[in-house]
Structure 1
Amino acid sequence: MQPIPAKMLLAGLAEAGSVGSETITAVVTDSRAVCPDCVFVCFPGQRVDGHDFAAKAVEEGAAYVVANHPVEGVPEKKFVLCPSSHHAMVRMAANYRMLFHPRMIGVTGSVGKTTTKEFCYAILSAFGRTIKTEGNQNNEIGVPNTLFRITGETEYAVVEMGMSALGEIERLSRAARPDAGLITCIGVSHLESLGSRENILKAKLEICTGLLDGAPLALNADDEYLQLARREGMIPARLRPVWYGMNAPEADVRAVEVQPLENGMSFTLEDKEHGSFAVTIPALGMHSVYDALAAYAAATRMGLDAARCAAALADYQTTGMRQKVVENGGRVFIEDCYNASPDSMRASLNMFKEYPCKGRRFALLGDMLELGSIEEEAHRQVGRWAAQSGLAHLVTLGSASRFAADEAEKAGLAVTRCQTHEEAAQALESLMAPGDALLAKGSRGMRLEQVLQLLYAGEDQTNN
């Protein structure tokens, strides 16, 4: 964070005249990160309440404390009252963002946000100093933390925006003020909290509120709900839509002649405005091609050179446990354990079906969480997709995945049901041989990486 006057950072939160001329050097939400001249924001939580550490933060040099209620030990002159800590973070981030002018892409959507963000980062980094959302910090704490990392040297930025309720993306977009927006697709993530895909569509379209008139908005032409938004006039006429895809012939940017490779995909990128480019990306699956197209569409319509944008897609680097390919004991493991929804499950299984495997294909599928009333049917559908994916055997982990196991078994696929990581590891160890490949996919809370770690450790002990 670049130093900023307190009265500028806290504008709209603190009463006029109540803030001094101090220079703020950081905004922190973790009491362990408190430093002199920072603003400490108290967040009440189920296990830990930041208000309990407010007085200590002042003792350690915090210039101001933002809190939901008065706190004993925090002097009035250092206290800023705000009913919502989340809103306070977003307001301060918006105030800070006003000081700088990097060219920014804002990314949202139900599936593929993080991968698309990384493709945007690969492109923008080819043109200048770029910052990005780290990990999945895409909420009302994470987005402000990303914006606070902007400095006068930042030339480009890519900011991922997620949500759990209507109104959140609007606040984030207004704070970030991206030069280009991007919506990957409208899926069923957050269906439990928003109630319908129509509401999810409305929530994702909130990214438009922070875009200036004439700004480009990259949209998936193959997504039925985004097409619905076009037909019903839900996309603001003041924006400049650019449509990307593979199937819709009217798309401005398309991928054709798509071919799977051992560690990626190759395709021809056809751009109605800039011509055709041969592209190879180090990411697996058709969904990764969509993510690459999205990043290219947003960056080029923001004014960046098309040929350089297309070439830079090859510099994409996977993050975390998103389709990371690991070789161990002669076997191939595709770690896709970061998160899961019906949409991403289908995409990963489709990718795995086409993956060039020397031996047999196995899948370890864990529960998809937070699906609400559609939980049973969604898992049954995954089981049917698994049965069509060329698998030799399916191993499931978790209570909801029993529905997937039932459907896969009905369709004739061999299935092993497991309830612990150890059971799953033992089952896979007995089934797999050198040359075989495994796809591991499930929601983050299922911790499927623990199964993989047991498999890797078992191979290491065998070799020793």
Structure 2
Amino acid sequence: MKPIHANQLLAGLALAEPDPITEVVTDSRKVVPGCVFVCFPGERVDGHDYAAAAYRAGASYIIANHPVEGVPEDRTVIVPSSHHAMVRMASNYRMLFSPLMIGVTGSVGKTTTKEFCYAVLSAFGNTLKTEGNQNNEIGLPNTLFRLDDATEYAVVEMGMSNLGEIERLTRAARPAAGIITRIGVSHLENLGSRENILKAKLEICYGLPDGAPLVLNADDDMLPKAKLPGRLRPVWFGIDSSDADVRALNITAGDSGTDFLLSDREYGEFPVHIPTVGLHTVSDALAAYGAATRLGLDPARCAAALSNYQTTGMRQNIVRKAGITIIEDCYNASPDSMRAALGVLESQEADRHIALLGDMLELGSVSEEAHRQVGEWAAEAGVDLLIAYGPRSAAMAQAAAGKGVTTLHCETEQEVVGYVRQNVHAGDALLAKASHAMKLDQVLEQFYKTLA
């Protein structure tokens, strides 16, 4: 973080002295002299309990929801929401810099699209990106706080769980282009309907300048019907839709990834290779290309740079161990992403195709129906064995069994580790996918130890 005067950083939150602020931290273990420490109340840990120690350790200001004993009044900034305060400080800090920035949101594919954007933008200069899945009202500010004078390009991911969140994030980030990947059913539990999810994702428009490109999925069933602000420039990408401005044609998958012909109505055609499999990743690559080119970057270089994509963590990562092909996709799950991942499993050459699928969370009233649908998709994808993990996945297992799939269901980590050890052997292809809270990454780590 570039040093910034406290009165600039805290503008809109409090009157402050022009002291130099060197960091904004939310973890008391990372407090350094001259930082701002932000208190977040939590179910297990309350940051307010560490505020006095943070002040003694050199924090210049404490962001808190109430007065804290041991912290002087003139060094306490009392706010109703620590999350909103983080976003406001990030917005103030963002004003110091002018990188060419892309903002990414959507129900499915945000992180993969962000990584494709990073691959493209990095071909043109120093690029900042959201690390991992840090896309909320703490993660996005922390990304913006990493901006410095050397940053030429940036791509930020914006997630949400309720209406209003993306509006706050995008007004802080102020991207030059926006991407909406797809409207799914994630967060249906909070938002109640896909129409509200669409409304929430369209909040990205609030942070875009007049004339900015808004890159949208033409294959989505809701986005083409959405009412878009006339001040923005829609750019449509797709595989199936003939109306898309940017399309992928002649798609072929191989061991090293996927090849296709990128057809751009504005700039022509380019052969593309991406080191991923699955049609969903082709869509994500198209979105990144569409945003970068409409910001004025050279189309041929953008298309070529898509090949520089790198998988992060256990997210759509294919590894081979002890003769087993393993598709690590443990970071998140929704019905749409489950179906896409099953397509990747189906494409793998193997003696048997085994799916280890866990609960999908935050689906609200459609949860049971969605899990049943995934079980039916597993059967359609030719899965030989389904290991369903978690209480919600009982419906998935039942539906798959009804379609003739050999199915095992378990509700504890110990059970699922045991089932995987007993049933996955050399020559098999294994897909592991669930919501991150199911901790399938830990299951795989335990399984890998038995293969050493």
TM over 0.5: yes
1:325, distance to aligned residue in structure 2 (A): 1.2
1:156, distance to aligned residue in structure 2 (A): 0.4
Would the aligned equivalents of 2:345 and 2:429 in 1 still touch at CA under 8 Å? Answer: no
Aligned pair partner of 1:145 in 142, 145, 148: 142
Give the Cα separation in 2 of the matches to 1:427 and 1:77: 59
1:90, distance to aligned residue in structure 2 (A): 0.7
Match of residue 73 from structure 1:
70
The reply on whether 1:5 has 2:5 as its aligned counterpart is yes
Match of residue 53 from structure 2:
56
* Corresponding residue SS for 1:283: coil
The correspondence of residues 11-410 of structure 1 with structure 2, limited to 5 A, is: 11-15=11-15, 19-229=16-226, 234-355=227-348, 357-410=349-402
1:152, distance to aligned residue in structure 2 (A): 0.7
1:456, distance to aligned residue in structure 2 (A): 1.6
Give the Cα separation in 2 of the matches to 1:39 and 1:9: 10
Q: Name which of structure 1's ranges 412-421 and 296-305 shifts more when overlaid on structure 2.
A: 412-421
Give the Cα separation in 2 of the matches to 1:428 and 1:57: 46
The reply on whether 1:450 has 2:442 as its aligned counterpart is yes
Would the aligned equivalents of 1:422 and 1:454 in 2 still touch at CA under 8 Å? Answer: no
* Corresponding residue SS for 1:224: coil
* Corresponding residue SS for 2:222: helix
Would the aligned equivalents of 2:2 and 2:22 in 1 still touch at CA under 8 Å? Answer: yes
Alpha-carbon RMSD across the aligned residues, in angstroms, is 1.1
1:424, distance to aligned residue in structure 2 (A): 2.5
The reply on whether 1:436 has 2:428 as its aligned counterpart is yes
Give the Cα separation in 2 of the matches to 1:74 and 1:274: 59
Give the Cα separation in 1 of the matches to 2:253 and 2:66: 56
TM-superposition CA deviations, 1:105-146 (whole Å, max 9, x none): 000000000010000000000000001001111001111110
Aligned pair partner of 2:419 in 418, 423, 427: 427
Q: Name which of structure 1's ranges 344-353 and 202-211 shifts more when overlaid on structure 2.
A: 344-353
Would the aligned equivalents of 1:338 and 1:443 in 2 still touch at CA under 8 Å? Answer: yes
How many residue pairs align between the two structures?
452
The reply on whether 1:418 has 2:418 as its aligned counterpart is no
Give the Cα separation in 2 of the matches to 1:425 and 1:35: 42
Give the Cα separation in 2 of the matches to 1:433 and 1:31: 46
Would the aligned equivalents of 1:54 and 1:74 in 2 still touch at CA under 8 Å? Answer: yes
Q: Amino acid of the residue matched to residue 181 of structure 2?
A: T
TM-superposition CA deviations, 1:418-438 (whole Å, max 9, x none): 223333333333333322111
TM-superposition CA deviations, 1:201-246 (whole Å, max 9, x none): 00000000000000001000011110120xxxx2110001100001
Would the aligned equivalents of 2:413 and 2:443 in 1 still touch at CA under 8 Å? Answer: yes
Give the Cα separation in 1 of the matches to 2:146 and 2:419: 46
**TM-score, normalising length: structure 2:** 0.98
* Corresponding residue SS for 1:403: helix
Give the Cα separation in 2 of the matches to 1:257 and 1:167: 40
Segments of 5+ residues of structure 2 without an aligned counterpart are none
Segments of 5+ residues of structure 1 without an aligned counterpart are none
Give the Cα separation in 2 of the matches to 1:451 and 1:140: 30
Give the Cα separation in 2 of the matches to 1:166 and 1:263: 40
Q: Name which of structure 1's ranges 188-197 and 396-405 shifts more when overlaid on structure 2.
A: 396-405
Give the Cα separation in 1 of the matches to 2:264 and 2:35: 47
